[in-house]
Structure 1
Amino acid sequence: MEQTLQTEVDQVRNHCGYFPLEDWCIISAKGKETFSFLQTQTTNDVLQIQLGQGQYNAITDRQARLIANFSVHRVKEHEALILVETSQKELLLNHLETYHFREDVEFTALDYRLLALQGPKSPLILEKVFENQNLPEKPNDTTQLTLDGNRLDIIMKSLTGDEGHILCFQNELEDNLIQKLLKISTPPVKVSENAREVLRIEAGIPIFGKDMDQKNILPETGLEHTSVSYNKGCYIGQEVIARIKTYGAPNFALMGLTVEGLDLPPFNGILRLEKKKIGTIKSSVHSVTLNKVISLAYIHKEHRSPDIDLEVTIENKTFKVKTCLLPFYQSQTRKDHSKRLLTQALQIYKEQDDLDRPIAILRESIELDAKNAEAYEALGVFLSKQDKLDEAISLMKRLTEINPKEIMARTNLSVYYMKQGRIEDAEIEKGEATALQFEQLIEKNMAKKLKKKE
């Protein structure tokens, strides 16, 4: 592997890197009915976006197949910026215009340049360039900055797994902005396309047209964890998404694989276990951070538990792979922040007996660390107290995928199903919890006996 690639990835992971986002674009949505119209078309609850905030979102067809995924950012009371991959721009605009009749909203593709600044030191660098100006504080937050009297929009968004920002500005500002970034005592390094791809896949971020397309139903892609509200009103595809959430998981869903050896598995290669199809390979790369081959892949639900070793064939070639949750890489600071938010949420509930604020904090905790089992459990309990049982059940199902031996997840599922009157499902989960308790007790006793022998 080239040393320059290693250096670029290390710089982003430990310092900061920058790259132009020529494959992304900005769409302006403006008018008094902007958010009420988007609410009828998108999978997430845009009416909850406050000024300066943003959210992940998507649009699906009636079968819940993905049309476009993007993020929406509220910059004024009746104005939003939509950040979307350029490959999806026309699909998104065509869909919105198809359902746009008399609503007071206008969609315009802006001729903006986009520059990504990614890495744990990106806020410090931006503070030096934009002195005495407030930066976004949370993922998807946005604010307006000025540079030599010219306006820029900045969105806090990670494209690499580390803290990051996207700057949106008029074409003529690009040279001046980059010059100011590079004049800093420890400037960011420019990131090549190859390094950017490594960073993206390590972060477990799928892209449209490669890792997902219009053939995928949204729950297969993993986007439902960040881009779907289960409490909003009707939108196209809602019935299918809700049914999958309530009654089961999709047959195939996106997750990670680590691959032994140096060979990349072929793109779109079919994984077979004893001649049976169990998945499809998507993006693959030699991971600089993990020093191994990693792949995004759609895996059958029977094999989606993490840390399972499999010997599979892909296009008649044998590969040894291990399943893993996405992302492959997560910065330690984000995990620590997630734990602190969990503690904060529990403390607020203990002191104030309040639910809304702890729930919001726990959602942020899970967004920062998708593997924080304690945050899932706490959020599920709080949601059940608000009688939001469908979402609580969805969270516990997700937790059982993360850790199939999590007894509390099974116990909670049993309780929530019972509250819904789904007695058979409740008994099944209760049985699973009991079986896991016996297994753990046996393992504990065996460990004690082995220790005595030693």
Structure 2
Amino acid sequence: MTEDLTRSPLADYHISHGATLGEYHGAVVPARFTNPAQEHQAVRTASGLFDFSFRAKFVLTGRDSAKFLHRIVSNDVKSLAPGQGVYATLLNAQGQILADLRIYAAHDRLLVDTDADLRTKAMSILRRYIIGDQVQIEPVDTCALAFEGPQAAGLLEKTLHVDLPPLKEFDHFATNFGGFPVRVVRVNNTGEEGYELWVGPKGMMGVWGAACGQAPSYGMLPCGTEALESLRIEAGIPRYGSELGEDTLPLEANLMNALSFTKGCYIGQEIVERARSRGHVNWKLAGVVIESPQVPVPGEKLIVDGKEVGEITSACASPTLQKTIALAYVRREHLDPGTRFQTSSGAAVEITSLPFLRRQSAPAAN
């Protein structure tokens, strides 16, 4: 139920400027432009620009669209005013995550953003629940660029020649650039202040070029997905296919910002509420510091007294912390910060709280 591989509209341009392309969540996008560690540090200290063609959108229209989506997904959709958004999960009846979604309310529609390799799956699941509802669900050909870092807001304002209004996480507004309609979305992808700029494929080149023209003033580097991975691991941000999947409950992945406990029934709600009222889940996403320069592979086990108590999902050599770090699911009995164990390859490991890196300016991610 995955889509054909999407190729960034800027792929050939990126190659001509020295980028190395790679596959990421169903799309061919830049993996790196120069040195991923330098790209990472640019985002932490100044700003970075990402080609987010691995994100895909679809739209819900019709008079029942908000009421329909509200009763299916895990967060409150009906209360969204135009210009607001929310993070949510699409669950099965067992409360496990089929897809994670960012949902944005516009005046006459709901815009849904997810990974490119999840769009067809999510649309198909939602369509199965349409029974007499006045709802249409269709894909839209909209791409995104992400502006990330302490100077991201200034870079975006200079690129678009607009003054950004005060925006909370997932707030958004429509404007235009070079004759093309665009949408600005406040969203955190790295643990830093972040914005996505949605634009059609034909408008991407103009926005990218304008932003790169401002690079010296804002310390900006074009960045690839290798830097994005180390940034989001430092920030403790889970991703579908790594930390999230059809065997994961939202509470196991710490997705409190994807859940409403007051909205009433939705698919999987009974299981989520049962886990919350019980006060714990058996496994939970945690941060671990590995006392070895060797970065462990996803799936490597965590061992205490010869017993498996956890499994690594994502890992990197942290450019900011100068340590090897990882996200891992760990048994609840071993979640206290400072708890020590080993990887299956023998490296010493210590539990730490998430995120690894805290930024006052960055809101909760996803």
Residue 244 of structure 2 corresponds to 212
Report the CA distance between 1:134 and its aligned residue.
4.0
Given that 2:55 and 2:143 are in contact with CA atoms closer than 8 Å, whether structure 1 keeps it comes out as no
Cα deviation, 1:60-92, whole Å, max 9, x if unaligned, reads 11110111111111121x311111011211221
Give 1:426's aligned residue: none
Q: Deviations over 1:44-63 (max 9, x none)?
A: 11112121111110111111
CA 1:333–1:273 in 2, change beyond 3 Å: closer, same or farther? same
Alignment-derived partner of residue 106 in structure 1: 136
> Which consecutive residues of structure 1, in runs of 5 or more, have no partner in the other structure?
335-366, 370-454
Structure 1 CA distance for aligned equivalents of residues 64 and 217 of structure 2: 45
- The offset of 1:103, in angstroms, is 1.2
Deviates more, 1:191-200 or 1:237-246: 191-200
Counterpart of 2:350 in structure 1 is 322
TM-score by length of 1: 0.70
Whether the 8 Å CA contact 1:162–1:330 is kept in 2: the answer is: no
Q: CA RMSD in A?
A: 1.8
Partner of 2:170: 140
Aligned length: 331
Q: What runs of 5+ residues in structure 2 fail to find an aligned partner?
A: 1-32
SS in 1 for 2:190: coil
Match of 1:261 in 2: 292
1:6-62 per-position Cα deviation (integer Å, ceiling 9, x unaligned): 321111011110111122111111111111001110111111212111111011111
Q: Which has the higher helix share?
A: 1
Q: C-alpha displacement at 1:189, in angstroms?
A: 0.9
Match of 2:200 in 1: 170
**2: CA distance, partners of 1:135 / 1:113:** 22
Q: Which amino acid aligns with 2:245?
A: D
Give 1:58's match in structure 2, choosing from 83, 89, 93. Answer: 89
Judge conservation of contact 1:18–1:115 (CA < 8 Å) in 2: yes
Equivalents in 1 of 2:339, 2:232: separation in Å? 24
Measured against aligned partners, the alpha-carbon deviations of 1:123-171 in whole angstroms (never above 9, x if no partner) come to 1111112224544611111110111232101111111100111111111
Q: Does the CA-based 8 Å contact 1:33-1:103 persist in structure 2?
A: yes
Task: Specify the alignment match of 2:226 in structure 1.
Answer: 194
Letter in 1 for 2:310: G
SS at match of 1:87: coil
The TM-score normalised by the length of structure 2 is 0.86
CA–CA separation in structure 2 for the residues paired with 1:37 and 1:108: 15
| 1:86 alignment partner AA | A
Larger strand share, 1 or 2 = 2
8 Å contact from structure 1 (residues 54, 71) kept in 2: yes
Distance 2:42 2:162 in 1: 26
Q: What is the CA-CA distance between 1:200 and the residue it aligns to? A: 1.5
CA contact (8 A) 2:233 2:315 kept: yes
Identity %: 27
Q: Could you say which residue in structure 1 is the equivalent of 2:147?
A: 117
Q: Deviation at 1:265?
A: 2.0
Distance 1:90 1:133 in 2: 36
Describe how 1:60-75 pairs up with structure 2 within 5 A.
60-75=91-106
Amino acid in structure 2 at the alignment position of 1:217: L
User: How many angstroms apart in 1 are the aligned matches of 2:319 and 2:281?
Assistant: 31
Rounded to whole Å, the distance in 1 between the matches of 2:310 and 2:240 is 18
Bigger RCO (CA 8 Å, 6+ sep)? 2
* Offset, 1:332: 4.0
Deviation for aligned residue 1:299:
0.6
| Deviation for aligned residue 1:108 | 1.3
**Which digits, 9 at most, give the CA deviation of each residue in 1:165-198, with x for residues without a partner?**
1111111111111111122252521012221211
Q: Residues 296-375 of structure 1: matches in 2 within 5 Å?
A: 296-306=327-337, 308-314=338-344, 317-334=345-362, 368=364
- 1:309 Cα deviation from its structure 2 partner: 3.6
Per-residue deviation, 1:3:
8.5
Q: Is 1:126 aligned to residue 163 of structure 2?
A: no
What code does the residue aligned with 2:342 have? Answer: V
SS at match of 1:220: coil
